[in-house]
Structures are given as C-alpha cells and as structure tokens.
Chains A and B, each alone.
Chain A
Amino acid sequence: MEPILRVINLEKIYPGVVALKKVNIDFYPGEIHAIVGENGAGKSTLVEIISGSIKPTGGKIIIDGKEFHGGVREALQHGIAIVHQERALVPSFNPVQNIYLGYEKGRIFVDDNQALRELKKLMEDTGIHVNLRIPVKKMGEGEKQLVEILRLLRLRPKIMILDEPTASLSKDEIKVLFSILRKSKKQGVSVVIITHHLEEVFEIADRVTVLRNGKKVATKSINDLDEDTLINMMIEQDIEARYPKTNVPSSEEILKLEKFRTPDVYVEEFEVHKGEIVGLAGLVGSGRTEFLEALYGIRRKLDGKMYLFGKEISIRSPYDAIKKGIFLIPEDRNRKSLFLRFNVRYNITISFLHKFARFFGLLNFGSEKRGAINALKLVRFDINRLEDKVKNLSGGNKQKVSLGRWLLEKPVLYLMDEPTQGIDVGAKSEFFQVMCSIMNQFGVGVILVSSDLPELIAMSDKIYVFRNGMVVDKLNREEFSSKRILNSMLMGKNQVLNER
C-alpha cells in the first residue's frame, strides 16, 4: 500500500533548540499510528508541522504524492485536520458556532439551525453527546474536548491528528472516542494520535513511533512491543527506577487535624509525621485540592483544630502558612505557581525577598543569586539557566523551579497538588528523587495529591481516600491495593468512618 502521508528528513530548529532532527515517518491509510515520547521529545512540534501551523526549517512533507508547503488552510484542503493539545475554541460561542466557525451555514445570514440539525445527526452517528446550547466556557474540560473532536469529525478528514485527546476525558468518553477512531480507520482514514498513556497505545494503535530528543528512535508494529520495551525506548532507563522511594517516616508528628471542617471538606482526624508521604486519593472534585488550599489558608476553615508540632495554630492566609514552613506546590503550575516571563532567579526568590533586602528594601542581587543557586542545587536544576525565562523551560524543569522556591527557608510540610501532571516519565522519577532527598535532609512531611494511582501507591506511606469532601478510607502502606482504593473512591466503601 502507498503511504498517504510521508514525512521526509523533517527538521525544526529554534534558536538554541533542535525540536526535530531529520525525522522520517510514513503514515498509511486505515491505520492508527501512535506517537509517543517524553515531554519535549518533539511530538507536538511534529504534528503542528504536519497540520500546517508551524513551518519546518528543513525536510519535506508529501501528501498523496504531492508536496505540502504548510499553512493551516492548505492542510485542511489536503484533508488534514487536528485536535490541538491546547483548546482552540471561542469561549463565549456555543458548540454549534464553534464547530462551524469558518464554515457557517447560510448564504448571507448565518443559519445555525441547519448546522444544528447536521450536528445532531453527527452526534447520533458517533455516539458523542454534548450540550449544544451553552457557551463552551461553561463546560468542563472533558466536554470541551468532545466539542473539539466533533469539529474534527465534521471535517471528514483523510488524515486526523489528535494531540493528547484523552487527557481530560472520562473512561466512558475514551471508550466512545476509541470506537470512533476504529470506525474511521475502517473507512480508510489515517489516524495519528499522541498520548502519554501507554495502555491506550496498546489498546488502540497499530503502529507506534517513538521520539526522543527530537529524533526518531523507531517505528514499530504494536505486536512487536510490550510496555517495558516501549518505555525503555522512550527513556533509556529502568522501569524500577520510575518511583524512587527513599524517604523514611519517623514517629515524630508534624501536623495533626481534629474535626477539621471547611465549606467543602470535613476531615475527622489527620496526621503527618516527619519524613512521611501522605497520599490523598480521590476523583477530581472529591475535595482534595480544596483540603490542601484550606490548610494553606486560601479557603476558609469553619471549625476544628490544627496542630503543628503539637501546638495549636491558625492559618488565615498563605503568608501565615509560609511563615510556619507549610508550602504549597499547586496544580497547574503555569497558572498558579510560576511567573512565566520572569527568569528563574526571580521565580525562586519571590516569596523570601526580604532575606536579600538591605536599606530601604533595596535588594542585594549578589546574595539573592547565591540564595537562588543554593536552592537550585538542592533540586538539581542546571544553574547555568538561572537567568533564563521560565516560559522557555520544559515541564519537569518548571516543576523544579516550583519546588525550589520553597527551599530558601527550612521546609516543614509540603502540600503537593498533582506535582507530576504533564511531566514525562523521566522527569517524574527525577522529581521524586529530588523530593525524597529533600525529605531526608530536612525531615519534612509531604501531603501528596495525585490522580495517578500507581504513582500514589508507589510513593505514599499512607493513603487517605476522599469522596464528596469526606475521608472514606484510610490505608497504611501494607494495606495498599488499587482495588480497594478505587472502590472507596468510586463507591465510598467506608463511609461510616466519617459521618458528617
């Protein structure tokens, strides 16, 4: 069979960074082709070039035997459509207006009703259902993703590209999506999918291309692969080293809560010891983030007692928490933690600038720099990048900056909310190594929120399971089982433990 899309010696060089280096891949009609690799491996760059939104600096793209010279409209004319990793929707438009943006029905006046009828039929055919009447900004992330997928399907492309389409979808929605992809494949569509979830690759892909540092490692048929081989191709690293747990919990108590109540959460009792990682399991919206934010003083506490080293404390603002050595590493670091256009040094020292202030609050840049370097060494960040803008860093390095900020003063307790979200496998294990070495050095405790259950089980010393704002189960390390945790998360197995 002839390939429908050929990528030949494709290259993309940014000033100082090689994003893609001489990549050759053939894509065939009627196949699902997964592209995997760590963050920064070049996956998104590759598909952005194919879909015409980024211009390559070298190489060729051949579609159906004809050379493609870039441009989003041209790509669409060639039958290439993409669901980007970032949302590309107009927030105030409803799904109909979004999906038909640029393809409005009607001659002079826009006829949304005709579009609506067409769209309803498409939803029936595909089994994807979204509310067509509300603006997309009122939708959850999963529903927005479905709107994007509907837009892609409406275009009836010959080549469809999906850049991490499953990240915000539920299990059922993923099932529907995959059945649509299989159907499209049968109709001769060439499907290209990027995903971080390897089990999805094995579920749906026919062939897999692995990228590493902008270079192609290999393209293989899925039948010739197993998960370990695939990971090793991605990272050149042993699978055992993925979750390096070296922290040693002691019996000394750091934090203790009694009947802790906020508008969203109720926790009867809760303890963190020195050197201990306390995992919080639960679905999105189960109150874990709200719990951390209440401990950090962003959310109101209604009643209950909070003890730090046995002394009762009250935390009304992040400032209070920081003074006591309680530090939050929030989810969504780009939005909640980092100052993207600032350099690394600014980001590290922002909360403790008073340590470097002299007369009239003027800063001593020399001592600021030394302070930042000390912190960066602890998180094993390349200190040559001290003056780089944070927006140019990879996800893993950004997270190191997020953590490094909280090493200028002695940490007591870290509140970590999905710290490894959007970080690739290699950077994840590096992050945990750094975290454990800091825990051992300072005897700090960690409350870890993670939706990645294997990660939570591998790293935690005990796990509290949250459901609807309540703790429904508590497991010590020897009791860990993903089945029990899932049961509690979904069904609230142990609800009696904590009646409100």
Chain B
Amino acid sequence: MIKSHRIKVFWYALEKYYTFFVLLILILIFSIISPMFLTIRNIINVLRQISMLTMVAAGLTICRAAGEMDLSVGALAGFTGVVVAKLIVAGVNPLISVLLTLLLGITFGFLNGILVAILGVPSLIATLGTLSIARGAALTTTNGKAIYSDFPSGFAFIGEGYLGIIPFPVVIMTIVVVITYLLLERSKLGRHLYAVGENMMAARLAGLPVTFYRILAMVLSSFMASIAGIVLVARLGSGQPTAGGEYLMEGLGAVFIGMTTFKPGQANTMGTLTGALLIGIIANGLLLLGISTYIQEIIKGAIMIAAVIAAVYKEEINI
C-alpha cells in the first residue's frame, strides 16, 4: 500500500514537473555534446539573451492569469524603445526619459484595459488593433529609420553594465520575475487576478472589482513590455522601430510551455521562466552545435507544440 502510494506520488511529480525535467534533460544532452555549453560564460550568455523575453513573458503571464490576452507587447516594446531613444537624443535627462517612457507604457496598457474591460472588446481583437497602432506609432516617430546615438553611460549601463559578473539585464529580469512570482502566487492581488481569469461572473458575485483587475492586468502587461523595450534599446545602442516583434511569439511560447508545469493548466510565473529558459537553451544549444538559425526556428516551433500536446494530454488524464 505504502509502496503504491510512493509510486503515485512519483508519477504525480513527474507529471507536474515534466516540462522542467525536459529542460534538465536538454541541458544534460547539450553539455555532453558541446563542452562549451556548461560554462559559466555561456550560462550567463543564455540568461542575458532571454532576459528581455522573460520580462515580456512575465507581463503576459499576469495577463493570462486574469484570463486576457495581449498581442501588443512586442510592438509596444519596439515603440517604447524608440521613444526612450528619441527623448535621450533630444537631450532629456536619461532618468526622466526612462520614467516618461514607462508612463507611456502604462498609459498604453490603460487604453488596452479600457477597450477590454469597459468597452467590452475581446482582448485578442483589441490588442491586435493596438499592436498595429504601436507599430505604426514607432515607424511614424522615427520616420522608419533607426535612431543611432552615443547614449550616456548611465543609460547604456541598463543594457550593457554588469553587477559583479551578472549582466544588468539579468538583474532586472530577476527582479521582474521575483515580483511577478510574489504578486501572482503569494498576494491577495494575484489570487484575485486568477479568480477573475477562472470565473469572471463568480468573481463579480464574490465582491471583487472585476473591471479594475482586468484593466490592471493589461497595464502590468504593457508595463513589463515597456521595461523590456527600454532595456533592449540600451543593449542595442540604437532605437529600432521594428525591434521587439519576436517577443510576442516567443513570450506567448514561454507562457504556454509554462502552463504545462508547476500549476498545470494555468499561466504561472515559474512555468513561464521554465518556458523562457527552454526557448533560450534550445537556441543556444543548437547554435553551439552549428545548426542554422533557419532550422532552429522549425525546431523551436515543434518543441512548443510538443509541450502543449503533453499538457493537453495530461489534463485529460488528470480528471
């Protein structure tokens, strides 16, 4: 009896952390094949590569937890990027530029929230529209050209600086992930966001301010995308109007892969981090193996589908 119980617990753990184990196995395989893979330098490199993606994905996780979708994150990251670049080039104090840009991001999210929670446009459609608006705004602001400049060292530090051996974008990513985790898993606010996402009607009848939470979810999503946009510009050293677009697909990929693990069926922070790591490690490992970036795209897509199939299947047998 005790033995069978142990087996059950084992299977349960395997099921729940399946995607996490896949990540560990991938790390094992890559480190056997390529001696370069498991070096501190390379690991830090991977973390830096996924840092902006993870920030966007963390925002998307909050959005998904509240049952909404935000397709505008990638375009917004691009837009906020050129805005901060333009402000700095125009001679505005870097700190004030960053704050103004974050405020712009929050305003953008607020508009998304109004569309979704007050005017009742489904978030998938609303943010598809605002995606285009953000993209168009970025192109208009820059006339379609990149903004090059020698950024002040304080601003460049955001993208290229180090804290000890840790790149500053990784530090920001860590802060974002920790805050998102505390917010969603440990706080009253997070529980309420999940409740709105799970059953909006029941949440309303339980006395929760549903409209407020839906707007908040859109705001936080845009806010995190704006952070990513600013870090991206600081790292690239230029404001590219078309940058950031891939964060939408990869960010959603991380969130969906994340939904297969830790809290199966629900968007969750640790899962999203696992997803982002998985995406980063696959890209890095394949690169080290000398596989072309074109084929990498195909493999990335296949892995995402495989992960979600596993999740669907697990829900099926979990009943």
Residues of A within 8 A of B (CB): 14, 296, 298, 317-319, 321-322, 328, 330, 335-342, 346, 350-351, 353-354, 356-357, 360-363, 405
Contact = CB atoms under 8 A, between A and B. Distances in A.
Nearest to A357: B188
B195 interface: yes
B191 A363 contact: yes
A341 B318 CA distance: 12
Contacts of B201: 335-336
A341 B186 contact: no
Given A318-B206, A350-B206, A340 B187 contact: no
A391 B194 CA distance: 16
A335 B199 contact: yes
Interface residues of B, number: 23
A362 B182 contact: yes
A363 B266 CA distance: 20
Contacts of B187: 357, 360-363
A409 B210 CA distance: 21
> Which of B191, B206, B208, B265 has the largest number of chain A CB atoms within 10 A?
B206
Interface in B132-189: 182, 186-189
Contacts of B199: 335, 338-340
A338 B202 contact: yes
12 contacts: A296-B205, A319-B207, A321-B207, A328-B205, A336-B205, A338-B199, A339-B202, A341-B265, A342-B194, A350-B191, A353-B188, A353-B192
Contacts of A14: 319
B209 interface: yes
A354 B266 contact: no
A405 B195 CA distance: 14
A118 to B, nearest CB: 37
B186 A319 contact: no
Nearest to A349: B191
B182 A330 contact: no
Interface in B255-303: 265-266
A35 B205 CA distance: 36
B29 to A, nearest CB: 33
Contact of A341 (B203, B204, B209, B266): B266
Nearest to B191: A353
A184 to B, nearest CB: 34
Contacts of B319: 14
Given A335-B201, A336-B201, A341-B198, A354 B188 contact: yes
B191 A318 contact: no
A340 B198 contact: yes
A341 B201 CA distance: 15
> Which of B192, B199, B201, B204 has the largest number of chain A CB atoms within 10 A?
B199
- 10 nearest interchain CB pairs? A353-B188, A322-B207, A318-B207, A339-B198, A361-B187, A351-B206, A319-B207, A357-B188, A361-B188, A362-B186
Contacts of B205: 296, 298, 318, 328, 330, 336-337
A337 B202 contact: yes
Contacts of A405: 206
